[in-house]
Structure 1
Amino acid sequence: MSVIKHRPSRAKVTIMCSRNDQVLLVRRKGAKWKFPSGLLATGEAPIVAAARELWKALSLHCSRLNAVGTLEVGRVLHHIFTTDFADGCSVSLGRGIVECKWVGWEDLSSAMLKPTAAALLSRDLSALVRRNDPAASELASDTN
């Protein structure tokens, strides 16, 4: 008898965009809030997909994307990235995004988020995103 191992059916990038202890949330028509994200194209590097998604969905160009790690939620493997933006950065909606907003980490609740985003939030990613010390990268590598 052969054993079939569970494998994620898709891979996505999810980007936690921070600004002054706030995180950026986006929303598509008729949907709940989520973190900026997108599917990886075949053979595409996760960091390239993260930069592409930020540009196409929000016209945001970031100078630094930090890989936090990977998490599996359901059958989707999320490559998690963080990036920081300065006050007054300009966001332009694109590619199906109807609204975006900056929310304080303490104001985030699972009830306001799509189930996948809520599942990511339940993993306490805010602790990884909000740390600015060298131990953050060490902690992030433990999530792989």
Structure 2
Amino acid sequence: MKKRIETTHTLNANLDQVWNNVRTGAEWERWLPILSGSTINGEGKGAKRVCQMHDGNELFETILESDDEQKLFQYRIDKQSFMPISDVIGTMKFSGKNGETKLEWNVEFEVENEETFEQVKPGIEEIYSTSSSKLAELSI
């Protein structure tokens, strides 16, 4: 069953500074609290990233898009074992004005049933909210 979660966050930080902390896919552990580290092989579209989590799990990802003009970052989680979801595609779209940045962070994934979706949804929303706040702090 395909599901989608859409979130919107307002960051009190300049768009270009926020984007510079996201655009390469590197060092996201500086603002994504569930990560303890990461390595990236390649640059831009097609780059492979391995993210280490504090609990010892790893995420294996592919960067699908990093568009400086559109301020769009998209990634696919190729392999993970910490949530009962699969075929994960995350999209981050940034826009800004007057020193603020709007982040639309959406994710699509497969899940077995509605009950499982209702269990994972609050956790994903919390990760995105907390990460957006940390990203804003880092970008000031």
What TM-score do the two structures reach when normalised by structure 1?
Answer: 0.26
Is the radius of gyration larger for structure 1 or structure 2?
1
